[in-house]
Structure 1
Amino acid sequence: MGYLKIFFGNTAILIAVAYLANLIYKHTISNASVGIKKASWVILAIFAGWISTLFGYNLDDHVIFDLRFVPLIISTLAYPRPITLILIGIGTGLTRLTFGVTEAAVAGMLNLFILGVICAALSYWVRRSTLSIVNQGLIVILIVNLMNAINIMALGVIPVEEYIREIMPITFPAGLILSILFSLIIRDFQLGLLRNEQIQHANEQLSAQTEELHKNKLDLEERANQLMMASQFKSEFLANMSHELRTPLNSIINLSQLIEENDDLLTEAEIREYAAIIHRSGDELLMIISDILDLSKVEAGRLDIINEELNVSEIPDLLAMQFAVTAKQKGLDFNISMDENVPPMIHSDPHRVQQILRNLLSNAFKFTKTGYVSLHIHEQEGGEGDAVQHWLVFDVEDSGIGIAPEKHAMIFEAFQQADRTTSRKYGGTGLGLSISNDLARLLGGFISMESKEEEGSRFSLYLPLEVDSE
């Protein structure tokens, strides 16, 4: 009966330790990292083995019977990791020496070392087995209790015949039953912890989903506002576009009708003047239609870029001829300069490059009342190390009305302008910068801008420049 009393006492102590550990876990380390949780488990298992030995049954002055191997069984099922189990086995074995270094203490230490290795081997099977947790637990309990009995007999501290005849018939079945009982209790604790963790995890997921829904709601509201603004901008754009289309169309229709009805009464000079107006109106109408078609092609990804040789040295003369009259009519200084180190030829799309520069210069002249408009062509490097990029830069600078900083990004978007009254005051569709920006990207470059309100603007077209290794 002494063995049973001690084994039941051991079980009660282990249950108390497990309960206290459960409380400590909930209120201290439940939110700790995985490494801290495993280290805490190892320390707890070793402590449980030590306290089981402390309240064990003293067969004589040196031999102690207890359930110090039970924490190993629980660890095999709860944390089936070989290193963890070997550490628990070694630690629990070493605690046996705290009760005195004797032959029985050394044998008890070796017994726990061996059981730790056996449990480490069993952990491989536990992780790969398809059996239920109950069946796994019964097999582990049986093997550990059996190996514990074999080790006691093999280490020879107690005579084998005495152990088999008097001790084992009581301690072995009692150890099995109490190991199973304790494992069921710990299993219940484990399931409780698992349920708490699942509830906590579910709460965290719900919080994350709620936050995500809130973000999605804000995104949807932002997109709804953007769609509403886009719709408003498109409506204003269409209203402006109808005006821009009607003006040249009305000129063409009215003047051609006037020529048709009064052909005999008009002088040759008047006919030439009307024909010139009709021609300019047709050009304006063609430019508007071209802008709309280019924008639709860019958005559809169907605008073709033709890379061929572009004569950079011809660009100043071509642009000077196109804008010299405009500069003279508005009384503006128009200067074009080019650095000497600029290569005379590059590979790009000549038509699209000239289209971008015409758009930038047209805007510069449109929004400049007094002062100057200039074009400066130069070479520039950007980046670091192997990522250095060489650019051919076209700086279009003016002393016009400028653009407020908060509206810099807006003016490159289709259907949007820095000032919605701009198109009414200065004319134009407002698509030039948007198309130019898209064309620059298709050419492998980009457009940058520096501008302050009432202090003028500088738009820079950057085109990639291949430099010979020589």
Structure 2
Amino acid sequence: MEYIKIFFVNTALLITLAYLANLLFKHTITRVPEQLKQVIWVIMAIFAGWLSSFFGYRLDEQVIFDLRYVPLIISAIAFPEPLLLILIGVGTGLMRFTFGINLAAAAGVLNLSILGFICAAISPWIRRSSMSMTSKGLIIILAVNFFNAVNISLFGVISFYEYISKIMPITFPAGIALSVLFALIARDFHLERERIRQIEGANALLSKQTEELYKNRIVLEERAKQLLLASQYKSEFLANMSHELRTPLNGILNLSELIAEIDDSTAREEIQAYGNLIHRSGEDLLLLINDVLDLSKVEAGKLEIVHEEVNISEISMLLYQQFEVIAKQRGLDFTVKLEEGLPETLVTDPQRVQQILRNLLSNAFKFTHQGGVSLTVQQEKRRQGARETSWIEWAVSDSGIGIPKDKQLTIFEAFQQADGTISRQYGGTGLGLSISRDLARLLGGMITLQSQEGQGSTFSLYLPAAGEEKA
């Protein structure tokens, strides 16, 4: 009966310790990292085994009967990690030496160490098995109690006959019964840990979803702003386009009406002047229509590029002849400079190159009131990774009003200008730079911009030199 009494004393102590440990884990230790949590568990399990021995039943000065192996059973159910179980088994066994160094203590160390290795050996099965936690717990209880009895009978200091006939018939069933009680406590602890883990997982998932919703909201808000801006830009474009179309159309209609009403007294020179104005208005109207058609072709992927060998100096000369008159009319300097080392020819689409450069030069003259405009053609080497590529740069520089930094990206978008109001001073539809950028890409090149407000701008068209890959 003494064995039963002391086992129940051990049970009361271990239940109290398990309850306190559960509170500690629930309110504090669950918030620490997993590795630190396991270290704390090992310390608590070893301390529980030592406490069981401290209040154990002393058969004599050396032999102590207790439930020190129960924390190992609980650990095998709650933390089925081989290394952790070995540490608990060996650590609990070594704590037996605190009650005296003797043969019984050495046998206790050997017994708990063996039990720790046995639990470590079956821990992989515990993790992988699809059996219920109750079934796993019963198997662990039976295995640990069985091997505990075998170890005591083989390595204990009590005679084999006395242990088998007098002690084991009482301690073995009592140990199993009390182990089951602790297994139920461990099961509740395990379920609590699973519940906490599920709550943490749900919180993490909710936090992630909240973050994704926040990001999506930012994206939607940004897209809403872009749609609003796009709507605003298109409205401005339609208003600008109607203004730009009306101007040449009104000129054509008014002048043609004047011509229809003239009589024989009208001078020939006056009629010629009317005809020239009608022709110029028609050209302006055709240019606007061509810009819109070119933009739609580029966006639809229908614009054809014809590559042929062209003379670089010939393109420069044609541009000079075209814009020299405009420069004189506006009182501006206009220079075209070809740097040394340029190749004679370039394989590209000459019509589209001239279209891009005409757009850039037209803008330069439009926004320049004093000073001048220049076109510089040179060859430039650029490094792309380990390769060095050769480019032909057409740089259009002016001393005009310049472009604010916050507008230097938007002016390349369709329907947008640095000044988007209808009553702005310079007019235009805002399509020239957008078309030029897209054409440059189709030619395998690019357009760059350097500008400072009030100090002019430089637009550079880069085209790959002969034999170079496209950008």
* TM-score of the pair, normalised by structure 1: 0.88
Which aligned pairs between 1:84-123 and structure 2 lie closer than 5 A? 84-123=84-123
Which aligned pairs between 1:310-389 and structure 2 lie closer than 5 A? 310-383=310-383, 386=386, 389=389
| Residues 313 and 172 of structure 1: CA distance in aligned 2, closer, same or farther (over 3 Å) | farther
| Residues 87 and 244 of structure 1: CA distance in aligned 2, closer, same or farther (over 3 Å) | same
Partners of 2:92 and 2:313 lie apart in 1 by 88
Range with greater deviation from structure 2 (56-65 or 317-326): 56-65
Partners of 2:24 and 2:346 lie apart in 1 by 75
* Residue pair 1:307, 1:349 contacting (<8 A) in 2 also: yes
| Residues 149 and 419 of structure 1: CA distance in aligned 2, closer, same or farther (over 3 Å) | same
* Residue pair 2:307, 2:348 contacting (<8 A) in 1 also: yes
Structure 1: which amino acid aligns with 2:181? L
Corresponding residue of 2:224 = 224
Matched, 1:240 2:240: yes
* Residue pair 1:390, 1:467 contacting (<8 A) in 2 also: no
Corresponding residue of 1:412 = 412
Alpha-carbon shift at residue 23 of structure 1 (Å): 3.4
Q: Secondary structure at the match of 1:370?
A: coil
Matched, 1:154 2:147: no
Corresponding residue of 1:428 = 428
Identity %: 62
Partners of 2:305 and 2:64 lie apart in 1 by 91
| Residues 341 and 218 of structure 1: CA distance in aligned 2, closer, same or farther (over 3 Å) | same
Partners of 1:305 and 1:13 lie apart in 2 by 90
Partners of 1:312 and 1:21 lie apart in 2 by 86
Q: Secondary structure at the match of 1:136?
A: helix
Corresponding residue of 1:80 = 80
* Residue pair 2:334, 2:373 contacting (<8 A) in 1 also: yes
Matched, 1:51 2:48: no
| Residues 344 and 42 of structure 1: CA distance in aligned 2, closer, same or farther (over 3 Å) | farther
Range with greater deviation from structure 2 (84-93 or 328-337): 84-93
Partners of 2:289 and 2:153 lie apart in 1 by 102
Q: Provide the aligned length of Structure 1 versus Structure 2.
A: 469
Partners of 1:452 and 1:419 lie apart in 2 by 16
Structure 2: which amino acid aligns with 1:4? I
In structure 2, runs of 5+ residues without a counterpart are: none
Partners of 2:18 and 2:379 lie apart in 1 by 77
| Residues 189 and 387 of structure 1: CA distance in aligned 2, closer, same or farther (over 3 Å) | farther
Which aligned pairs between 1:79-228 and structure 2 lie closer than 5 A? 79-228=79-228
| Residues 442 and 108 of structure 1: CA distance in aligned 2, closer, same or farther (over 3 Å) | farther
* Residue pair 1:391, 1:462 contacting (<8 A) in 2 also: yes
Corresponding residue of 1:70 = 70
Q: Structure 1, residues 76-125: CA drift from partner, whole Å, max 9, x if none?
A: 22222223222333333333333333222222222222222221221111
Range with greater deviation from structure 2 (206-215 or 146-155): 206-215
In structure 1, runs of 5+ residues without a counterpart are: none
* Residue pair 1:402, 1:456 contacting (<8 A) in 2 also: yes
* TM-score of the pair, normalised by structure 2: 0.88
| Residues 63 and 407 of structure 1: CA distance in aligned 2, closer, same or farther (over 3 Å) | same
Q: Structure 1, residues 143-188: CA drift from partner, whole Å, max 9, x if none?
A: 1221222222232533222222112212211221211211211222
Structure 1: which amino acid aligns with 2:142? L
Q: Secondary structure at the match of 1:151?
A: helix
Alpha-carbon shift at residue 377 of structure 1 (Å): 2.4
Alpha-carbon shift at residue 254 of structure 1 (Å): 4.3
Which aligned pairs between 1:458-469 and structure 2 lie closer than 5 A? 458-465=458-465
Q: C-alpha root-mean-square deviation of aligned residues, in Å? A: 3.0
Range with greater deviation from structure 2 (91-100 or 330-339): 91-100
Corresponding residue of 2:8 = 8
* Residue pair 1:249, 1:285 contacting (<8 A) in 2 also: yes
Q: Secondary structure at the match of 2:459?
A: strand
Q: Secondary structure at the match of 1:97?
A: helix
Corresponding residue of 1:285 = 285
Which aligned pairs between 1:439-458 and structure 2 lie closer than 5 A? 439-458=439-458
Partners of 1:291 and 1:458 lie apart in 2 by 22
* Residue pair 1:240, 1:424 contacting (<8 A) in 2 also: no
Alpha-carbon shift at residue 414 of structure 1 (Å): 2.0
Q: Secondary structure at the match of 1:430?
A: coil
Structure 2: which amino acid aligns with 1:118? I
Alpha-carbon shift at residue 361 of structure 1 (Å): 1.3
Structure 1: which amino acid aligns with 2:195? R
Structure 2: which amino acid aligns with 1:358? R
* Residue pair 1:73, 1:140 contacting (<8 A) in 2 also: yes
Partners of 1:220 and 1:369 lie apart in 2 by 43
Structure 2: which amino acid aligns with 1:452? Q
Partners of 1:90 and 1:331 lie apart in 2 by 99
Q: Structure 1, residues 392-438: CA drift from partner, whole Å, max 9, x if none?
A: 33222111111222222222222222112477421211111222233
Structure 1: which amino acid aligns with 2:237? F
